[in-house]
Amino acid sequence: MPFVRGVAAGVVCFGLVSAGGAGSSRAHDSEPRQAVDARPSNLADFVPAGTASALDALAQRFDERAAMDLVVFMNRYWRNAGNPGFDASIDRIKSRLEASGFAARAAAPADGPSTWIETYGRAPGWDHSVGTLALIGEGQQSEDVLLSRDQQRVALCINSFSTPPGGVVAPIVDVGQGVAEADYAGKDVRGAVVLGDAGAGRLWQMAVVQRGSLGVVSTAMASYLRPGPTQADAQKPRSEWDVLQWGSVPYDEARRGFGFKATPRAAARIRERLKAGPARVRVEIVSTFARQPVRSLVAEIPGAVKPEERVLLVAHVQEPGANDNASGCATLVELARAVMQAIHDKKIPAPGRTLTFLWGDEIRASRQWMTGHPAEAKQVRYMFSLDMTGEDASKTGGPFLIEKAPDPTAVWSRPSDPHTEWGSSEVKAASLKGTLVNDVFLAVCQLRSKRTGWVVQTNPYEGGSDHSVFLAAGVPSLLAWHFPDRFYHSSLDQPEMTSPTEMKHVGASVAATALLLAGATGKDAQDVVRLIASAAASRLALERRQGAVLIAAASDKPTAEAVEAAVEAAWRQWYAEALRSVLELPPGVASPDLSRLVDEAVARLTKQQRRSQAL
């Protein structure tokens, strides 16, 4: 997932003004997520029988060991688009698909299940084999290696250039925060390495671009990872002193500089040494820029009824972590294999709509697929993004979350539906469009939870991964993920933080839901109408309860009452649209019985609204 989610979320065309005060808080600034459960508790009871059966069949065929094997394999690499590790991961996934029955093709289309690679553009393809920063001892004869590829794996910033063979020796200068002119006053940083608490990109601009430094060392880290101010006064786990969050510096071929991200332990060691006087470091880097075309891997299981229509499932390959996002890639490939096996074993029918699976460079691959397949893109009916799907929540602290397609909780801040530490995106109420996908996926996950004890939560739309691209095109889209992760984008995002069972829970639930969306029968669709109607009743009852509390606590009660009326009206409209969206669920034409059932459910919502307004 992108390091700055708000930037990525900007692809969603929801406007820039929040209607009810959701705000524009970003990760690390918002309040911790509260353990409030706003989910209707009975949605699992409405899951169509065929989908419930498929959920079991898919879980039985999901290969947990193979999923973990792929996580371990991908974790060996810092996967940047176009570099050898990214391409090796693509090739490994493709081989797994082919071994599972997907035929290798040069390109689409194909009559049966198939897989192929598409290429576009070029990427820097940065990687490195050496990235070491060592503090030179006071006698200049010894070195204390503080940061290295061997120790932290991801300490060197993306786009760092190689040093001359043997490295360079330079002064290291502490500039404190490093964001203001005063931080550099009286300090000669030209030809030096600069240590600062700002992000690597900001330090780069201030120190390298404006003042001629060789490179930077940034201590910037998310607040939920940061230990106490000193080792002596904080009884923290060792991991919190030895963790760093990876980052990047701008690609700058003219300056050919470098950046490091520092662990708290490394930063403290440098600053302790500087108390005794000037200090020097040796930096050695061997990096490469492959500058290769970017590759995406596509696989498809053609639809048996409306093959031109699609349900799209996406996982991004780039980033160096096990959970982010080797786990998403592994979950997607094993759920695709499980679907193939279950069809072969005649435990589930072939999908009515085509299932399309995509692995590539986050957001960019989705945009490119839509651009390169304009006719197919117009026929995408539903989309799932799988990002950080395998976390062992007991270790990372990140529960499984369904990030919903935008509903009123994305517009109005509600106690029942807190945003994550990632932070909210600004969404206009007028842009909301009700969809069945939120509650259908939640219901399937709840059914899996009911059978296994799996913990499932939801969060309002926030953006920042591939689902944002498809939402911008009007496709109902969800994100399956975990957050907050106390090792997010860090050197400790390792396979031991990943749970194969969690990947199976997510994979089976996503696959079963995708199959329902791809091939719902008329009876299935009627069950979904009842499911959505039940969810609507639960949500409206919840909003009335918490609305009364909010009004009672407000100093300006007329304004609070107006807000609560707007919230309730928005939910009624959203659910009316969600109910009508069920008419498009079956791949065939909606039956008169289904139309009648939808009309009756919408009429009940409208009648309740009129009664509420009268009161």
Task: Give the pLDDT confidence of 220-236 residue by residue, as tens digits.
Answer: 998 877 654 444 444 44
Model confidence at 11, in pLDDT bands (50, 70, 90)? Answer: very low
**Is 473 a residue whose pLDDT tops 80?**
yes
Give the C-alpha separation, 529 to 598, whole Å: 7
pLDDT of residue 106: 82
Mean pLDDT of all residues in 32-49: 70
Q: Looking at the structure, do residues 136 and 239 belong to the same domain, yes or no?
A: yes
CB-count exposure of residue 560 (10 Å: 0-12, 13-18, 19+): middle
Least Cα distance to 509 among 536, 478, 534 occurs for 478
Q: Which residues lie below 8 Å from residue 391, measured CB to CB, with a gap of 6+?
A: 323, 327, 398, 400, 482, 485, 497, 498, 499, 502
Q: Looking at the structure, do residues 533 and 551 belong to the same domain, yes or no?
A: yes
Q: Which of 220, 254, 289 is the last residue of a domain?
A: 289
pLDDT of residue 110: 72
Task: Give the pLDDT confidence of 395-440 residue by residue, as tens digits.
Answer: 998 999 999 999 999 999 999 999 998 888 889 999 999 999 999 9
pLDDT of residue 13: 32
Model confidence at 8, in pLDDT bands (50, 70, 90)? Answer: very low
Give the percent of the chain with pLDDT over 90. Answer: 84
Residue 142, CB-side half-sphere exposure with 13 Å CA sphere: 5
**Is 604 a residue whose pLDDT tops 60?**
yes
Q: Which of 502, 520, 538 is the last residue of a domain?
A: 520
Three-state DSSP class for residue 284: strand
Eight-class DSSP state of 348: S
Mean pLDDT of all residues in 525-551: 97
For the ranges 6-20, 108-122, 393-407, 446-460, which has the lowest average pLDDT?
6-20
pLDDT of residue 41: 64
Q: Which residue has the higher pLDDT, 138 or 481?
A: 481
Query: DSSP assignment of 192-244, as one string?
Result: SEEEESS-HHHHIIIIIIHH--SEEEE----TTT---SSSTT----HHHHS--
Q: Looking at the structure, do residues 270 and 361 belong to the same domain, yes or no?
A: no
pLDDT of residue 519: 97
CATH of the domain at 489: 3.40.630.10
Number of domains in the chain: 3
Q: Looking at the structure, do residues 507 and 533 belong to the same domain, yes or no?
A: no
pLDDT of residue 23: 28
pLDDT of residue 32: 43
**Is 354 a residue whose pLDDT tops 70?**
yes
pLDDT of residue 28: 33
pLDDT of residue 2: 67
Q: Looking at the structure, do residues 190 and 241 belong to the same domain, yes or no?
A: yes
Mean pLDDT of all residues in 326-344: 98
Give how far Cα 44 sits from Cα of 129, 401, 465, 522, 536, Å: 50, 17, 27, 19, 15
Three-state DSSP class for residue 336: helix
Model confidence at 109, in pLDDT bands (50, 70, 90)? Answer: low
Model confidence at 47, in pLDDT bands (50, 70, 90)? Answer: very high
Mean pLDDT of all residues in 124-140: 91
pLDDT of residue 450: 95
pLDDT of residue 136: 95
**Is 321 a residue whose pLDDT tops 90?**
yes
Task: Give the pLDDT confidence of 186-222 residue by residue, as tens digits.
Answer: 999 999 999 999 999 999 999 999 999 999 999 999 8
Mean pLDDT of all residues in 264-278: 95
pLDDT of residue 21: 31
Model confidence at 138, in pLDDT bands (50, 70, 90)? Answer: confident
Give how far Cα 37 sits from Cα of 292, 362, 421, 506, Å: 46, 30, 17, 19
Q: CA triplet 224, 22, 582: central angle to 5 degrees?
A: 105
Q: CA triplet 243, 207, 247: central angle to 5 degrees?
A: 30
**Looking at this protein, which amino acid is placed at residue 54?**
A
Give the C-alpha separation, 105 to 79, whole Å: 25
Q: Provide the mean pLDDT of the chain.
A: 90
Mean pLDDT of all residues in 67-83: 97
Q: Which residues lie below 8 Å from residue 399, measured CB to CB, with a gap of 6+?
A: 393, 455, 457, 482, 483
Domain around 475? 5-124+292-520
**Is 27 a residue whose pLDDT tops 70?**
no
Least Cα distance to 134 among 97, 175, 163, 96 occurs for 163
Kindly report the pTM of this predicted structure: 0.92
Q: Looking at the structure, do residues 460 and 557 belong to the same domain, yes or no?
A: no
Q: Looking at the structure, do residues 325 and 240 belong to the same domain, yes or no?
A: no
Give the C-alpha separation, 197 to 154, whole Å: 18
Model confidence at 10, in pLDDT bands (50, 70, 90)? Answer: very low
CA dihedral 568, 573, 575, 581 (to 10 degrees): -170
**Is 615 a residue whose pLDDT tops 90?**
no
Least Cα distance to 52 among 446, 402, 409, 576 occurs for 446
Model confidence at 42, in pLDDT bands (50, 70, 90)? Answer: confident
Q: Looking at the structure, do residues 462 and 549 belong to the same domain, yes or no?
A: no
Q: Looking at the structure, do residues 428 and 547 belong to the same domain, yes or no?
A: no
pLDDT of residue 226: 60
pLDDT of residue 611: 55
CATH of the domain at 263: 3.50.30.30
**Looking at this protein, which amino acid is placed at residue 178?**
G
Q: Looking at the structure, do residues 266 and 152 belong to the same domain, yes or no?
A: yes
Q: Which residue has the higher pLDDT, 444 or 138?
A: 444
Model confidence at 168, in pLDDT bands (50, 70, 90)? Answer: very high
Give the C-alpha separation, 289 to 296, whole Å: 19
Q: Phi, psi at residue 401, to the nearest 5°?
A: -130, 145
Q: Which of 487, 520, 553 is the last residue of a domain?
A: 520
Q: Looking at the structure, do residues 114 and 193 belong to the same domain, yes or no?
A: no
Q: Would strands 306-316 and 380-386 be described as parallel, antiparallel, or unpaired?
A: parallel
Task: Give the pLDDT confidence of 284-316 residue by residue, as tens digits.
Answer: 999 999 999 999 999 999 999 999 999 999 999
Q: Looking at the structure, do residues 508 and 535 belong to the same domain, yes or no?
A: no
